[in-house]
């Protein structure tokens, strides 16, 4: 029997979760879940931001293969044989095995495990996102001026999730619940924000860095986000942390309901995010725009069912959200589609010393076009298109993630041989995972990232 609850919290940075070292009281309920979980400390989304990340999750394939690397017109259709035919019956004559291309909810649906999705995300729009579910609910934003499809509240999402469980007429289920909070715009009250004023600040950006960012005329730069000082940064972070606390409160309601109904112990619970959020570490404030850790690294907690033998605690191995589809299939005892490209995390859940991969590769395609290789120590960022930051974002950046976790000291010029070696590994990965079409990140670089095309007319792009 399989019961799965997948909690997807938009824009949640790993280092703003208590279980990951955050000192502010942002996540008491998530921290309690973490105590019963395996915590992955080096978890990355394979693609960012929202649409590419969730395409990777739902298809079980990297953006280089599923075709979704950005927002806008390039994001509306995943790479799949069902889009190559004129009518659905053509599957019967296809040389492709339909099962090989199933999405994650489709795999459960076809195996008669009840599936439920709760998200306003199809309104992004992403038509592939709500493909083949038993039930899909779109929580409504408040009826007020300024509200739109990115502003449904966590309270509403939790209400829908609990209602789904209450009315569930099946013992097995896969329930996916997506929270927009703490994605902007921020909506917390003064009293909620006040709780996080005065909390410790990260080391970056420094006062000197903020002053430099004030000279930029680019999307989300300090001069356009009313950030003049570290005090202004503190206010931004207080609002962000208040939003996280709000989401955590309602995530706690769902978990409490499972406990009350006697379902918690035997439910596999996953909590993660689609991407993080950067706050000026590299010049952009309250934005997800690159493959730096502020955008790409996310929390990943996996609470196994009580019947599964796992060694709880931290894992240091490099994982991505593409690994989640085969992991969930393994818990359900279902053979994953052959086109899926991730690795099941089950061996790591059982044994923290299990053999694992030496590196991961991940992309960003909305404001820049970047592909990055991350090893245990090093991160090499290859920028194919710098967006409106051409003056400050070079073709290659190299960071020592052990000595320099905030990615402030670019070592590319000092270590040319290492850059070449990592770049060869990155290209080899791309060759192995590319589908039958042109690399979609190269298409974005050629046409311009969607966010860059949308906003470049509003700013000069001057960053030096």
Distance CA 354, CA 328 (A): 19
Domain extents for the chain?
A: 3-357
Picking from 15, 37, 42, the residue whose alpha carbon sits closest to that of residue 357 is: 42
* 425: helix, strand or coil: helix
pLDDT at residue 47, rounded to an integer: 98
If we measure between CA atoms, which residue out of 163, 143, 146, 99 comes closest to residue 335? Answer: 99
What is the distance between the alpha carbons of residues 282 and 207, in angstroms, rounded to a whole number?
Answer: 13
Count the Cβ atoms, other than its own, within 10 Å of residue 416. Answer: 11
| pTM score above 0.85 | yes
Place of tokens 């038509």: 127
| pLDDT at residue 457, as a whole number | 86
pLDDT beneath 50: ranges in the chain? none
Burial of 91 (0-12, 13-18, 19+ CB in 10 A): middle
DSSP secondary structure string for all residues of 312-329: -EEEEEEEEGGGHHHHHH
User: How does DSSP assign 207-266, residue by residue?
Assistant: HHHHHHHTT-BSTT-GGGTT--SHHHHHHHHHHHHHHHHHHHHHHHHHHHHHHHTT-STT
pLDDT digits (tens, 9 = 90+) for 343-367: 999 999 999 999 999 999 999 999 9
Sign of the torsion angle spanned by Cα atoms 298, 182, 129, 124: negative
366: left (phi over 0), alpha (psi -120 to 50) or beta: alpha
CA 334, CA 331: separation in Å to the nearest integer? 8
3-357 in CATH: which number? 3.40.720.10
Three-state secondary structure along 160-223?
HHHHHHHCCCCCCEEEEEEECCCCCCCCCCHHHHHCCCCCCCCCCCCHHHHHHHCCCECCCCHH
For residue 352, what are the CA distances in angstroms to 38, 72, 348, 349? Answer: 9, 40, 5, 7
**Residue of 440, 363, 456 whose CA lies nearest to 76:** 440
Task: Name the residue among 83, 79, 131, 137 with its Cα closest to residue 109.
Answer: 131
CB 232 within 8 A of CB 155: no
Spatial separation of the C-alpha atoms in residues 345 and 354, rounded to whole Å:
10
DSSP type of residue 73: G
């Amino acid at each position: 029997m399989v019961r799965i609850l997948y909690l997807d919290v938009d824009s949640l940075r790993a280092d703003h979760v208590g279980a990951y070292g955050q000192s502010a009281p942002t996540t008491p309920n998530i921290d309690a879940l973490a105590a019963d979980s395996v915590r992955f400390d080096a978890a990355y989304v394979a693609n960012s931001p929202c649409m590419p990340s969730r395409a990777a999750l739902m298809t079980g394939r990297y953006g280089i293969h599923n075709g979704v690397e950005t927002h806008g017109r390039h994001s509306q259709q995943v790479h799949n044989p069902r889009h190559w035919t004129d009518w659905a019956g053509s599957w019967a004559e296809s040389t492709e095995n339909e099962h090989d291309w199933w999405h994650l909810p489709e795999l459960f649906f076809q195996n008669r495990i009840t599936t439920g999705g709760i998200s306003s995300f199809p309104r992004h729009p992403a038509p592939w996102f709500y493909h083949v579910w038993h039930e899909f609910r779109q929580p409504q934003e408040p009826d007020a001026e300024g509200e739109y499809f990115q502003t449904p509240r966590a309270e509403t999402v939790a209400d829908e999730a609990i209602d789904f469980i209450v009315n569930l007429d099946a013992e097995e289920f896969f329930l996916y619940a997506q929270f927009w909070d703490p994605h902007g715009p921020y909506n917390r009250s003064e009293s909620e924000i006040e709780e996080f004023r005065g909390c410790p600040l990260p080391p970056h950006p420094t006062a000197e860095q903020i002053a430099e960012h004030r000279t930029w005329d680019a999307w989300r730069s300090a001069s356009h986000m009313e950030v003049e000082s570290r005090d202004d940064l503190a206010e931004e972070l207080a609002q962000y942390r208040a939003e996280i606390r709000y989401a955590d409160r309602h995530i706690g309601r769902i978990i409490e309901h499972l406990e009350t109904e006697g379902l918690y112990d035997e439910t596999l619970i996953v909590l993660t995010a689609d991407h993080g959020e950067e706050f000026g570490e590299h010049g952009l404030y309250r934005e997800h725009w690159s493959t730096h850790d502020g955008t790409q690294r996310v929390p990943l907690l996996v609470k196994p069912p009580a019947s599964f033998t796992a060694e709880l605690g931290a894992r240091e191995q490099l994982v991505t959200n593409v690994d989640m589809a085969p992991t969930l299939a393994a818990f359900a005892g279902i053979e994953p589609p052959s086109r899926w490209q991730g690795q099941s995390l089950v061996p790591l859940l059982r044994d923290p010393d299990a053999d694992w991969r030496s590196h991961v590769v991940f992309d960003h395609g909305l404001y820049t076009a970047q592909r990055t290789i991350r090893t245990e120590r090093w991160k090499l960022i290859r920028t194919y298109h710098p967006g409106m930051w051409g003056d400050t974002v070079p073709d290659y950046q190299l960071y020592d993630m052990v000595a320099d976790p905030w990615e402030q000291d670019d070592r590319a010029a000092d270590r040319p041989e290492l850059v070449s070696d990592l770049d060869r590994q990155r290209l080899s990965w791309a060759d192995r995972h590319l589908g039958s079409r042109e690399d979609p990140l190269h298409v974005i670089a050629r046409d311009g990232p969607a966010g860059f095309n949308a906003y470049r007319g509003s700013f000069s792009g001057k960053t030096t």
